């Protein structure tokens, strides 16, 4: 097995596996919905100054396999619904940006839907 095959296998069997790190999420795009596996986290990515107070912003992001996306393409405005887990509450998030990684994953930068 090649390194690429090992990497793809690890993504499928560990990182996106709901029994390990992953969870099932629902993508809604226009009028259709797709259930897929994803890996959600909210790292402290940036530091902002608000007046005289410095605040670390926790920016939610979601990793998904590009092959699970409709037409294998991410879009700004994609809406993801996540269920409650021991690590986060249930929420609905909208894609404000994304990065298409070389390993076939897409990392969405998200904001909570209003």
- Residue 55: pLDDT over 80: no
What is the pLDDT averaged over residues 82-90?
93
CB 53 within 8 A of CB 44: no
- Residue 92: pLDDT over 90: yes
- Residue 59: pLDDT over 90: no
- Residue 57: pLDDT over 80: no
Q: What is the pLDDT of residue 110?
A: 96
- Residue 3: pLDDT over 80: yes
Q: Considering only residues 104 and 74, tell me which one the structure prediction assigns the higher pLDDT.
A: 74
DSSP state of 13: I
CB 107 within 8 A of CB 62: yes
Q: Identify the band that residue 107 occupies on the pLDDT scale cut at 50, 70 and 90.
A: very high
- Partners of residue 12 on adjacent β-strands: none
Average confidence score pLDDT of the chain: 88
CA dist 18 and 95 (Å) reads 22
Q: What is the pLDDT of residue 47?
A: 62
pLDDT digits (tens, 9 = 90+) for 8-53: 788 888 888 998 889 999 999 988 999 999 999 987 656 666 667 6
């Amino acid at each position: 097995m090649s390194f690429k095959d090992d990497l793809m296998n690890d993504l499928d069997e560990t990182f996106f596996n709901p029994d390990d790190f992953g969870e099932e999420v629902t993508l809604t795009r226009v009028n259709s919905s797709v259930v897929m596996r994803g890996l959600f986290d909210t790292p402290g990515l940036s530091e902002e100054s608000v007046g005289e107070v410095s605040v670390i912003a926790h920016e939610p992001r979601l990793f998904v396999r590009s092959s699970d996306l409709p037409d294998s393409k991410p879009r700004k405005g994609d809406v993801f619904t996540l269920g409650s887990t021991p690590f986060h509450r249930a929420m609905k998030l909208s894609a404000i940006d994304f990065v298409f990684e070389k390993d076939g994953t897409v990392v969405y930068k998200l904001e909570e839907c209003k």
